[in-house]
Amino acid sequence: MSELTLAKPRAPRRPAARRSNSELYSWLFMRISGVALVVLVLGHLFIMNILDGGVHRINFGFVAGRWASPFWQMWDLAMLWLAQIHGGNGLRTVINDYARKDATRFWLKVLLYVSMVLIIALGSYVIFTFDPNITD
């Protein structure tokens, strides 16, 4: 077969409905975090790339100056968490759609969740423990 071949749909033997709203909440989260990220990311890009000479003024001192303010700490923290969870949830639905074997699906999700937790933890750690007076 020359073109895209799709396997037969799996025999859909569905379990009984779980009465859980998790899919609803994840759908709703995507909409809300998406709108929030438009503001957060565009604001971030504007400050970093356009305002006052843009990217050329960014150095250690600039970052230290911004993170001295709790407002920018919270901005960056919100951006980190929302982007990670928004992107992770999106990838989760992609894995749900395209993984054909239960084992593949499971391990891809493990990889996804581990990477999400690692990046969120590392990023949050840096934001809160950043030391502007670091030497050598």
Binding site for another protein (CB under 8 A): 1, 6, 8-12, 14, 17-21, 23-24, 26-28, 93, 96-98
Q: Which is nearer to another protein, 28 or 38 (CB)?
A: 28
Nearest to 57 by CA among 66, 33, 20: 66
Closest contact distance (angstroms) between CB of 50 and another protein is 33
Q: Which is nearer to another protein, 15 or 70 (CB)?
A: 15
Chain-centroid distance of CA 94 in Å reads 14
In the chain, what are the helix, strand and coil shares in percent, each to the nearest 5? 75, 0, 25
Q: Which is nearer to another protein, 24 or 134 (CB)?
A: 24
Closest contact distance (angstroms) between CB of 83 and another protein is 20
| d(C-alpha 75, C-alpha 70), whole Å | 8
